[in-house]
Amino acid sequence: MIMKKILGYLILPLVLLFSQGALAQDDDDDFLLDDEEIVEPKPVYTSEIEIGFGWQSQDSFKFGEFSGLTDRGAFIIGNLRISRRDAWDSGGAKYWTLTGTNLGLDSRFLGFEYGKQGKYKIFVSYDQTPKNLWEDAMTPFILQNSGTSLVLPAGWVPSDREVSQLTQLNSSLQPIQIAHERQKFSGGFAWNIDKQWTFTSEFTRETKQGNRTIAAIFGSSGGNFAGMVVPEPVDYETDNWNISLQYTGKKAQFALDYNLSNFRNNKPTLMFQNPFDASSYDADARFPDSFGLMATAPDNKASRVTFSGGYTFDNKTRGTINIVYNHSTQNDLFLPYTVNPNLVVTIPLPRSSLMGEINTFMANIGFRSRVGKRLTLGFDFRHENRDNETPIDVFIRVPNDSFDQGTLDSSQARLNIPYDRKQNKFKFDIGYKFSSDVKLAVAYIFEQLERTYSEVAKTKEHRVDAKLRFTPTTKTFGWFGIGFADRNGSGYEHNALFLLGHTPEFIEEEGEEFENHPLVRKFFIADRERFTLNGAFNWLPNDQVVVGLYGHYTKDDYNETFLGLLENKTASGTFDIAYTPNDVIGYYAYVTFESLEYDQASYSYRPGNPLDDFAARLWTANTHDKVTTFGVGFDWQAIKDKLKINADFTYSNADTEFFFTGGTSVSFLQIPDLNSKLIAIEVKFDYQYSNNLWIRGRYWFQDLNLTDWALDGVDPDTMRRIIGLGNQSPRYSVHIIGISTIYRF
C-alpha cells in the first residue's frame, strides 16, 4: 500500500507534466504584467528532498568507477538538503543543515551541521567512494585468510617458468573483481572564542577496503624470473586529527594548526604459492612447498605543526610567514628475509624494524608592497629541509624466496639509502601598471636544491617570468606570459647511488663501477632549459557573446643528456564561446587541443664496455599524446519559472603515438597507437509541478572505447613468464534515465 502511494507520488506528476503544456502556456501570459502590478514575491525554499529512481542499460565497472553505477537495472535516486536558520533579523543565530547526496548509490554522502553562528558549530559526516578497477580479472589462486594467502588449487601441475606449459591454468581460472572502497567518518567542532579568535577540532577516520592488483614474482633477476599478477587485499585505516587556532584581526591574522595522521594496514603481508618448478631455482624453492611473502604498505604516522600569519603594515605593505614542521615515522617490524624455511639464511637482519624517520622543516616568508599608484614590489623566500634520519644498514637479500641468502661481497648485499632534500628558493617580482588597461609583471626566481644521496649533489635554477595584462578596449582583455628557466647541476656522478647502495666488499670483489649507464642523466636532476609561453584573450563583441582563447606551450630541453629523457614538450589550445541571447537561453561550446611529447634515448647493452658498438645499439623513442576535447551545451528556461532544460555533449579523443628509431643491432617494430574515445551526452530538465513540488528528469549516455595493446587479447597465459589477470580494456555504452520528484520547503 505504502509502495503504491510512493509510486503514485512519483509517476502522477510525470504524467501530468506532459498534460500541462497548455496550462504552462497560459501561465506564460501571466508574465505580461503591467509595471504597476504588484507581483507576489516568490517563496524561498531553503530545503529540498529529492527521491526517484533511475535505470541503467548495461553493466559497466568502468562507468561506475567512482559513482557506484555499475550494474544494469534500477537504482534509487536520493538527495536532500534540509536547512533551517533563525531569521536574519530575529537576533538569533542558530542553524542546522542536513545534507545527503547519492543516497541510493555506493558514492553516498551524509552530513549534519548544527551551530550558533559566531559562537560554535558541531559537524559530522559520512562519505563513501568506490573505486572500481577490473571487472573481468581471473586468477587460478584460491584466496585464504581474507585474501592474504593465495594458494593453488588441487591438481595444479607446475612448469619450469613457462606459463604456456601450465596445463591446469585455464581450467583453474576463477573470476575476481578488483575494486576497493573508501569510507570516511568525520566529526568536529568550531568554537568562536570571540570575534577574532576561533578554535577548531576535527577528527576523521577513513577506511579503504577491497583489493588491488600486484605482481608476485620468484627468481633473482631479469634472466630467471617467473611470477604472476594477483589480487592484493586492501584493508587500510587512517585516523586524522586536526586542531587549529585562528586569529583574524584587521591588520594581523594567523593560524596555528596541529595535524596527526596515523595510517594502519590491517593486512600487512601477502603470501603466495609458487606455481613454478623452476630448475634454476633452489631445490627448496619450487612447487608445491615453496611460497613467497610480500610486505604490503607498512603502518606510518605523521604529525605536523603549521603556523601561518599575515600582517598588513599599512594599506600598501603586507608580510606573510608560514612555518611547518613535519615529523613522519614508520617502525613496522621487518618480515624475515624469506618465508621459505629451507633456504639458508646465515646473516640475520641488522635490526628488527625500520626506525624510519623523516623530519621536514619549512619556512616561507613573503613581503609585498605597493609603491605609489603604479608599482608593486614583492619578495618571497622559501626554505625546505627534508631530513631523512632513517638508519643505514646492510641488508643481505634472499632473492624473492627463491635462492639462499647472498653474501656480504655479493650484489645481494645492499645498503638502504634515506634520501634527503634541501630547498632554498627566492623570488623577486615587480608589477607595473602603465595605465588602468596595461599591467606588466616580471619575476625572477632562484632555486637551489641539495640532495645528500644523489648523482647530483646540488642543482641551481634561474628563472625569469614576464606577464603582460592588457585591456585594449572595453570589449577585450587578455594576458600574455613568457618564461625561461635554466637549471644546472654541480656535476653528475653517474655511479653515486651504486657506490652508496653496495658494500665495499662487493665493489672490491667484483670491481664493478656502475649499474646504470654512465651517460644516463635522470630527468628530475638533469641540467634543463625550460621555455614557456602562455596567454589568454577574451572578447565580448556584444552583451550576448563571450569568446575566449587560451593557450600554453612548455618545452623542457635536457641539453646535457645523451641517454634518458632528451626533450619534453606540452602544448594546449582552447577556444570557447558562450552565447546568451536573452535571459531564457544560453549556449556554450569549447574545443581543446592538447599535445604531450616525450623524446628519449637509450642504449641496449650487455655488461662490459658501456660504449661497445654504441651507434648500432642506440635507440630512441618518441611518445606523443594528442587529445581533442569538444563540448557544447545549452541552458534553457523553456517555460519561465516552470521548466528548465539543460544539455551537454562532450567528445574526447586521445591518441598516443609511438615512433622508434634504432641502430643496426636493435631489433624493433613500430607499435600501433593507443586510443581512447569518450562520448557523453547529458540532458536534464526541472519542471515545477506545483508551488513546492518539482519533477526532475535526466538522460545520460556515455560511450567509452579504449584500444590498448597492453591489455587487449592478453589472457592469463599470454605472457611467457608472468601469469596475467586477463583483464581487457574497458569499453561500454551506457544509457541512464532517471526520474525524481523534488519537494522543496
Partner 1 sequence: MKTKTQLASALVFLFGLLMAFTWSDGVLAEEGDEAYAKGGAQDCMECHDTQPTTLVLHTPHAMAGDARTPFASQECESCHGPSSDHMRKVPGELIPPPPKVVFGQNSITPIEDQNEVCMSCHEGGLRINWTGSEHHSGDVACATCHTVHALKDPVLVKQSQDEVCYACHVEQKAQSFRRSRHPIKEGKVTCSDCHNPHGSFGPTLLKYSNVNETCYSCHTEKRGPFLWEHAPVRDDCTNCHTPHGSSQPRLLKIRTPYLCQQCHIEAFHPSTLYSGDDILPFGAGERILAKGCLNCHPKVHGSNHPGGVRLTR
Restricted to residues 545-584, the positions that interact with partner 1 (CB under 8 A) are: 548, 550, 552, 563-565, 572, 574, 576
Q: Considering the rule CB under 8 A, would residue 625 count as an interface residue with partner 1?
A: yes
Q: How far is the CB of 508 from partner 1 (least distance, A)?
A: 20
Alpha-carbon gap, residue 463 to 99, rounded angstroms: 47
217 touches 275 (CB < 8 A): no
Comparing CA positions, the residue from 333, 230, 225 lying closest to residue 285 is 225
Considering the complex, state which of residue 13 and residue 292 has its C-beta at the smaller distance from partner 1. Answer: 292
270 touches 216 (CB < 8 A): yes
Given 56, 148, 159, 265, the residue binding partner 1 (CB under 8 A): 265
Given 77, 358, 639, 695, the residue binding partner 1 (CB under 8 A): 358
Given 378, 478, 483, 633, the residue binding partner 1 (CB under 8 A): 378
Considering the complex, state which of residue 11 and residue 94 has its C-beta at the smaller distance from partner 1. Answer: 94
Considering the complex, state which of residue 16 and residue 199 has its C-beta at the smaller distance from partner 1. Answer: 199
Q: How far is the CB of 651 from partner 1 (least distance, A)?
A: 9
Residues written for the chain: 745
Place of cell 607498512: 298
Q: How far is the CB of 232 from partner 1 (least distance, A)?
A: 8
Q: Considering the rule CB under 8 A, would residue 703 count as an interface residue with partner 1?
A: no
Given 177, 207, 495, 650, the residue binding partner 1 (CB under 8 A): 650
Q: Considering the rule CB under 8 A, would residue 674 count as an interface residue with partner 1?
A: yes
What is the DSSP track for 386-450? EEE-PPP-EEE--GGGSS----TTSTTEEE-----EEEEEEEEEEEEEEETTEEEEEEEEEEEEE
Considering the complex, state which of residue 509 and residue 657 has its C-beta at the smaller distance from partner 1. Answer: 657
Given 12, 71, 251, 346, the residue binding partner 1 (CB under 8 A): 251
Stretch that binds partner 1, among 12-20, 70-78, 147-155, 658-666 (CB under 8 A): 658-666
Q: How far is the CB of 268 from partner 1 (least distance, A)?
A: 9
Exposure string over 557-594, b if 16+ CB within 10 A, otherwise e:
bbeebebbbbbbbbbbebebbeebeeeeebbbebebeb
Q: Considering the rule CB under 8 A, would residue 388 count as an interface residue with partner 1?
A: yes
654 touches 624 (CB < 8 A): no
Q: Which of residues 397-456 bind partner 1 (CB under 8 A)?
A: 397-400, 414, 416-419, 421, 429, 431, 441, 451, 453-454
Given 171, 435, 542, 667, the residue binding partner 1 (CB under 8 A): 667
Alpha-carbon gap, residue 218 to 722, rounded angstroms: 10
Considering the complex, state which of residue 8 and residue 118 has its C-beta at the smaller distance from partner 1. Answer: 118
Considering the complex, state which of residue 310 and residue 697 has its C-beta at the smaller distance from partner 1. Answer: 310
Cell readout for 578 is 558562450
Site string for partner 1, 455-494 (x = CB under 8 A): --------------x---------x---------------
Q: How far is the CB of 22 from partner 1 (least distance, A)?
A: 27
Given 6, 7, 11, 93, the residue binding partner 1 (CB under 8 A): 93
Contacts of 492 (CB under 8 A, 6+ apart): 455, 456, 521, 525, 526, 560
CA torsion sign for 489, 494, 495, 501 is positive
Q: How far is the CB of 431 from partner 1 (least distance, A)?
A: 7
Considering the complex, state which of residue 16 and residue 652 has its C-beta at the smaller distance from partner 1. Answer: 652
Give, rounded to a whole angstrom, the gap between the first and last alpha carbons of the chain.
26
Q: How far is the CB of 485 from partner 1 (least distance, A)?
A: 14
Given 587, 598, 732, 743, the residue binding partner 1 (CB under 8 A): 598
Q: Considering the rule CB under 8 A, would residue 20 count as an interface residue with partner 1?
A: no
Site string for partner 1, 207-226 (x = CB under 8 A): -x----xxxxx----xx-x-
Q: Which of residues 48-77 bind partner 1 (CB under 8 A)?
A: 65-67
Alpha-carbon gap, residue 700 to 680, rounded angstroms: 7
Q: How far is the CB of 5 from partner 1 (least distance, A)?
A: 30
Alpha-carbon gap, residue 621 to 573, rounded angstroms: 25
Q: How far is the CB of 154 from partner 1 (least distance, A)?
A: 27
Place of cell 649499474: 515
Q: How far is the CB of 448 from partner 1 (least distance, A)?
A: 15
Which H or E run contains 7? Answer: helix 2-19
From the CB of residue 144, how many other CB atoms can be counted at a distance below 10 Å? 11
Q: Is 497 left (phi over 0), alpha (psi -120 to 50) or beta?
A: alpha
Alpha-carbon gap, residue 141 to 214, rounded angstroms: 13
Q: Considering the rule CB under 8 A, would residue 159 count as an interface residue with partner 1?
A: no
Q: How far is the CB of 19 from partner 1 (least distance, A)?
A: 28
Q: How far is the CB of 140 from partner 1 (least distance, A)?
A: 16
β-pair partners for 625 = 596, 656
Considering the complex, state which of residue 288 and residue 672 has its C-beta at the smaller distance from partner 1. Answer: 672
262 touches 239 (CB < 8 A): yes
Residue 164 carries which side chain, given as an amino acid letter?
S
Backbone angles phi, psi at 15, to 5 degrees: -60, -45
Q: Which of residues 98-127 bind partner 1 (CB under 8 A)?
A: 101, 107, 109, 117-119, 127
Q: Considering the rule CB under 8 A, would residue 338 count as an interface residue with partner 1?
A: yes
Stretch that binds partner 1, among 1-9, 53-61, 146-154, 673-681 (CB under 8 A): 673-681
The torsion angle over the Cα atoms of residues 495, 496, 497 and 503, rounded to 10 degrees, is 90
Contacts of 288 (CB under 8 A, 6+ apart): 152, 156, 158, 273
Q: How far is the CB of 696 from partner 1 (least distance, A)?
A: 14
Comparing CA positions, the residue from 610, 598, 438 lying closest to residue 515 is 610
Considering the complex, state which of residue 552 and residue 735 has its C-beta at the smaller distance from partner 1. Answer: 552
Q: How far is the CB of 486 from partner 1 (least distance, A)?
A: 19
Alpha-carbon gap, residue 605 to 174, rounded angstroms: 41
Place of cell 587460478: 140
Q: How far is the CB of 434 from partner 1 (least distance, A)?
A: 14
528 touches 565 (CB < 8 A): no
Given 382, 642, 698, 735, the residue binding partner 1 (CB under 8 A): 382
Q: How far is the CB of 142 from partner 1 (least distance, A)?
A: 21
Comparing CA positions, the residue from 44, 296, 41 lying closest to residue 149 is 296
Considering the complex, state which of residue 14 and residue 475 has its C-beta at the smaller distance from partner 1. Answer: 475
Size of the site for partner 1 (CB under 8 A): 201
Site string for partner 1, 290-329 (x = CB under 8 A): --xxxx-xx-x-x-xxxxxxxxx-----x-xxxxxxxxxx
Stretch that binds partner 1, among 22-30, 82-90, 139-147, 279-287 (CB under 8 A): 82-90
Alpha-carbon gap, residue 597 to 602, rounded angstroms: 17
Considering the complex, state which of residue 654 and residue 737 has its C-beta at the smaller distance from partner 1. Answer: 654
Q: Is 14 helix (H, G, I), strand (E, B) or coil?
A: helix
Q: Which of residues 710-739 bind partner 1 (CB under 8 A)?
A: 710-714, 718-722, 724-725, 730
